[in-house]
Amino acid sequence: MTKTILRALAGETQAVPPIWMMRQAGRYLPEYRETRAKAGDFLSLCYNSELAAEVTLQPIRRYGFDAAILFADILLLPQALGCDLWFETGEGPRLSTITTADGLAALKPKDAIHDTLGPVYETVRILSRALPREVTLIGFAGAPWTVATYMIAGRGTPDQGPAHRLKAEDRATFSGLIDRLTEATIDYLSAQVEAGAEVVKLFDSWAGSLKGQDFDDFALRPAKRIIAELKARHPGLPVIAFPREARARYVGFAKATGADCVALDNSVSAEWAAEHVQKDGCVQGNLDPSLLVTGGPALVAETKKIVSAFSNGPHIFNLGHGITPDADPENVHRMIEAVRG
């Protein structure tokens, strides 16, 4: 097993941690902006297999990251289930909403998702052929809770309030939606693996707004079910889980769900996570993305501090959240140099 990411996910401590970045294919790169203009709009880019593969490869060519993550979007799955999806320029995604039992019943069966998502699988196939052999290919999906928050509200919200209200007022419909998304996510990620993804990542971007039993029911249990089923279908498949802003609930999350690695946001310190989370296996993270905007000595110092904090166990260097459009591409080079020395 020569790929550094796979070695970290198998529990190996490495002198120099492997590195990739969330949203590494994106708007901070001029070559991405050119390709997106060629596609016409964001969704057209996601569904154009050749161009989606191209933007996935761009940061690998520029920076030599140890992993490439499939270029797609977590909301392609609800679209495949029958929701209307569009993007408002400068504002983000919009969806038709699912807030009633009738709306839930009207969703397409999970088997129908592949009709829509075929171009995504083709992107994975292209990448599995085109990537340098030392680079790991990561597939991904949104976790059920996070995807549900968009489906219920019809857009992103600051506090996921509409989803919390539906959870309180009509728990049967809400739970049914989580179950439908869990089943569809298993099939979606499994198809990515069959197409060539070597690792999959589950993004639960809004996990931090779930508290107590709700966290167990709607963040932890769906992740456990997805991971168990994927590993049953694809023995040896490594899975990264990202319950963002879980804070104290990061502790024990890998053991509870079967994840091979827990990705950490930058609301927790690397020192704390090394003591409480890394003892259970690989961790990924967790540089503040704003440092790639500001750069300077602070970027280098914080990068080295994180590498040092996690140096006694398996670690994949990454950001605490996705790189932002205003990041300086040169600062990414500086970060990589600080990691690799």
Say whether pLDDT at 188 is over 90.
yes
Structure tokens at 201: 């990542």
Say whether pLDDT at 208 is over 80.
yes
Q: Is residue 232 part of a domain?
A: yes
Q: Is residue 163 part of a domain?
A: yes
Q: Is residue 48 part of a domain?
A: no
Q: Provide mean pLDDT across the span 174-185.
A: 98
Catalytic residues: 23, 27, 36, 73, 150
Q: Is residue 39 part of a domain?
A: no
Say whether pLDDT at 178 is over 80.
yes
Confidence of residue 90 (pLDDT cuts 50, 70, 90): confident
Q: Is residue 115 part of a domain?
A: yes
Q: Provide mean pLDDT across the span 117-138.
A: 98
Provide the CATH number for the domain around residue 95.
Answer: 3.20.20.210
pLDDT at position 89: 83
Q: Provide mean pLDDT across the span 170-193.
A: 98
Q: Is residue 226 part of a domain?
A: yes
Q: Is residue 244 part of a domain?
A: yes
Say whether pLDDT at 102 is over 70.
yes
Range of the domain at 199: 73-252
Q: Is residue 216 part of a domain?
A: yes
- Read off the pLDDT of residues 295-308 as tens digits, 9 standing for 90 and up: 999 999 999 999 99
In the chain, pLDDT over 70 holds for what percent of residues?
100
Confidence of residue 1 (pLDDT cuts 50, 70, 90): low
Number of structural domains the chain divides into: 1
- Read off the pLDDT of residues 226-242 as tens digits, 9 standing for 90 and up: 999 999 999 999 999 99
